[in-house]
Structure 1
Amino acid sequence: MHYKKFFSAAALATLLSLSNSAFSDPVGPISDEETSYYVRLQYNGEILPLFTKIDGIQKTKGKEKDSPLKASFVAGGGAFGYKMDDIRVDVEGLYSWLNKDADVVGDTVADNLTAISGLVNVYYDVAIEDMPITPYIGVGIGAAYISTPLKTAVNEQNSKFGFAGQVKAGVSYDVTPEIKLYAGARYFGSYGAHFDKSEEVDKAVGGKETKVTKDAYKVLYSTVGAEAGVAFNF
């Protein structure tokens, strides 16, 4: 009778050992994906108004091909996004400001031009094993709300929408698993915001009249700058 109890106990111990091994050491990883949400806060320095122009704005002789706007270094934004492995997607809100260049002719031009934009961005993070620094590249598309280039808006056209896009590249640094600092270069552009023009012209029979030219001022808002900010993962 004792040997039956011994064999029964040995069989039970073997089954428990196999069961524990099967559950504690599965074949292959269940999932190696790392996912998280994050928010970003950043400063954008608009360093160079590259290719920026406003059709209909005049500049002094010899400066016609130069940009009618210059950098103000006033810009910033924030974003909310989702990260999965090396890919990130976020929705970003940006505010940017450019000043009128001193070579612009006339006193009807506004002292500055602002852009309030919303974009959807996709990033690729170049992961480096055992390193806290991660290079990244990204692209984004969306829309921008551009202010009028005139001191006095025609037909209440204080601001208009245009298509917006950007490309960027930089590096991020892991301060902690939840907090990252990042910095990089960025190109941002918007086109499609057109504004009417109003001017006094001579009548054929004497006197003057107001003439309105539709979409005379065509704004290409185009800047190269730098970005720096902090991201919080949760």
Structure 2
Amino acid sequence: MRAAAGAGVIVSYDPNIRPSLIGDRASALTLVEECVRLSRLVKVSAEDLAWLYPGEPDGTTQQVTTGWDAMPVFIKSGGILASRADNVTNDVQNPLNKVSLTVAGGANGQLSLYEDDGHSTDSAQSATTAVRYTEDGGNHRLSIAPVHGRFRGQVTERQWTLIFRNADAPTIVQVDGQRIPATQWSYDQTTRTLTVTTTSRPVNRATTVSYR
């Protein structure tokens, strides 16, 4: 799991506790918590939680209301969700030159954005872009590495829209160490969301967006 997570692979985990097989609780808890830290998706039952954390109060619930035209997506702190920045009729005639990255603040996280031509079965005809988010006190940084790999039809430039959830109102927003004007970012106090839109940038060069 460490190797997969370090390589940017999306790791899912279900502890599926079996008390008669897993051994003592303290050792199991250490292992489970490490696996959770390495995972992007975690499924855990109420029974598992009760065995791992005996005597702890039950978790809280959140009511989410949405229309039929939308589906809520839940990501843990440090999670990064990639999606298209605009609606398109199909992927074939609309290259991925505008991407949104939604970051759930509260912890460090990483993502590997995978792309290919949609046709070839040759794994060499693909590319990945490593994305890493870090927090250090009031400093927040999202680093997008140069694309690794090539395939036919690959875009050469891309515009990024970065959406930081659970964010405090920033005093300064920077792209590649340079302060950007307020026209390139916005902050919603009600939802505590910071949105930053970059200009179109070469995919073979790194991009760093930071705020504090």
TM-score range normalised by the length of the shorter chain: under 0.3
Q: Looking at both structures, which has the greater relative contact order when contacts are Cα pairs under 8 Å and sequence separation is at least 6?
A: 1
Higher-strand-fraction structure: 1
The two structures have a TM-score, normalised by structure 2, of 0.24
The two structures have a TM-score, normalised by structure 1, of 0.22
Q: Whose Rg is larger?
A: 1
